[in-house]
Amino acid sequence: MSSSPATSRRSFLARSAALAAIPAVATLAGGALADPAAAETGSADTLPDYAPIPPSALGPAVNELGYFVGRAEKNLYWVTDSTYQAAFLTTREGVVLFDAPPTIGRNLQRAIDQIAGANGVSNEVTYIVYSHHHADHIGASALFGRDVVRVGSTENKRLLERDNDPARPVPDLTFDERYTLQVGGERIRLAWQGTNHTPDNIYIHLPNHNTLMLVDLVLPGWVPFYDFNLNEDVPASIAAPATALSYPWKHYIGGHMGRLGTRDDVVVHQQYVADIADNVRTALATVDPTPYFTKYGNNAWAAAKTYLDAVADYAAAPVIAKYTGILAGADVFTASNAFIILESIRLDLGYGSQIHP
């Protein structure tokens, strides 16, 4: 039985969002995925198996167009394609959109139309707030035209001017540290508190909607993606969830995966990261580097790679065991997360650094 066009489109949409982050990573890694011909030589039969995803990691089913839109609180809504998230606030002066992931793309306006039509309010996007400059979160910004007021941190503007990507127009309205955006009687508190995931990432707090949006740090129900979410400042990113919890809120929009987050999700993430850091220290004190340097001799890179990978794997093993069934992907990305946290403990904190006698 052949699948209907609608089914094919659904399965394409379901796959496309999950795959959206891959090309950049594969290209950076220079791996087999960078070469489509090489990728085709693989077979699904030979790919590794991973633990099942805990049901708590999943959100509501998407509709036939590939999105779900739900209410966070009052006139604040969130949209997902089950991998990426955006949000929007309907006001009497139009709609404030928070991020515009290209995987959700034209479904953003469809979701807004659906809600605005049902509530008899304007469906016109008048503002877009950028969480940070990454294309996977705001690469559909240009769909909303030139008349929209785009809002981001000063650092966000600097990075978008550098990137010069027509899909991501630079913000018109910028702020250094704090700004309260007031639209149609609504208050949106924006705060830049230094680098974390990226140099420009901001805290988006809607105090009257009990919601905090903070993207690419805590991914509710899931462990972080590669390298602790492709991290640009590990110590600051480890500290950021405590800052998030210092705000009053009930609903957390993390920018990823299929459901809203809770305060408990942030606490579980903090514990996961703390467990990695603890086990990294144990691993650095336990794994003997001698065999790696003995085997590889003057190939210092081979020795360093195999030794540091062994430390990361040693640190990851008990964390994978503890979080499998609690956080999705624990067995997929914990070794990668442990590696980047290991490097931060060595290089940012100076742990284990020794001066030649």
Which residues contribute to the site for Zn ion (CB under 5 A)? Answer: 134, 216
> Residue 348 Cβ, how far from Zn ion at the closest point, in Å?
20
Concatenate the DSSP letters of all residues of 104-126 into one string. Answer: TTTHHHHHHHHHHHHHT----EE
Nearer to Zn ion, 205 or 256 (CB): 256
Measured CA distances, 328 to 14, 79, 322, 334 (Å) = 17, 21, 12, 11
Cα–Cα distance measured from residue 49 to residue 210, given in angstroms and rounded to the nearest whole number: 39
> Residue 133 Cβ, how far from Zn ion at the closest point, in Å?
8
Nearer to Zn ion, 130 or 314 (CB): 130
Q: Which residue is nearest to Zn ion (CB)?
A: 134
Nearer to Zn ion, 134 or 205 (CB): 134
Concatenate the DSSP letters of all residues of 34-78 into one string. Answer: GSHHHHHT--GGGSPP-PPPPGGG--PPP-TTS-EEEEEETTEEE
> Residue 102 Cβ, how far from Zn ion at the closest point, in Å?
13
Measured CA distances, 232 to 37, 60, 154 (Å) = 32, 31, 18
> Residue 204 Cβ, how far from Zn ion at the closest point, in Å?
14
- Name the DSSP letter for residue 261: B
Nearer to Zn ion, 51 or 167 (CB): 167
Q: What is the total residue count of the chain?
A: 357
Nearer to Zn ion, 63 or 195 (CB): 195
Closest CA to 211 of 250, 258, 164, 265: 250
Nearer to Zn ion, 134 or 251 (CB): 134
> Residue 95 Cβ, how far from Zn ion at the closest point, in Å?
23
Please tell me the chain's helix, strand, coil percentages from 3-state DSSP, rounded to the nearest 5: 45, 20, 35
Nearer to Zn ion, 134 or 259 (CB): 134
Closest CA to 230 of 337, 95, 155, 349: 337
> Residue 116 Cβ, how far from Zn ion at the closest point, in Å?
28
> Residue 132 Cβ, how far from Zn ion at the closest point, in Å?
6
> Residue 216 Cβ, how far from Zn ion at the closest point, in Å?
4
Nearer to Zn ion, 137 or 251 (CB): 137
- Name the DSSP letter for residue 351: T
Residue 70's CB: how many other CB atoms inside 10 A?
A: 14
Is residue 33 within 8 Å of 41, Cβ to Cβ? no
CA 32 to chain centre: 24
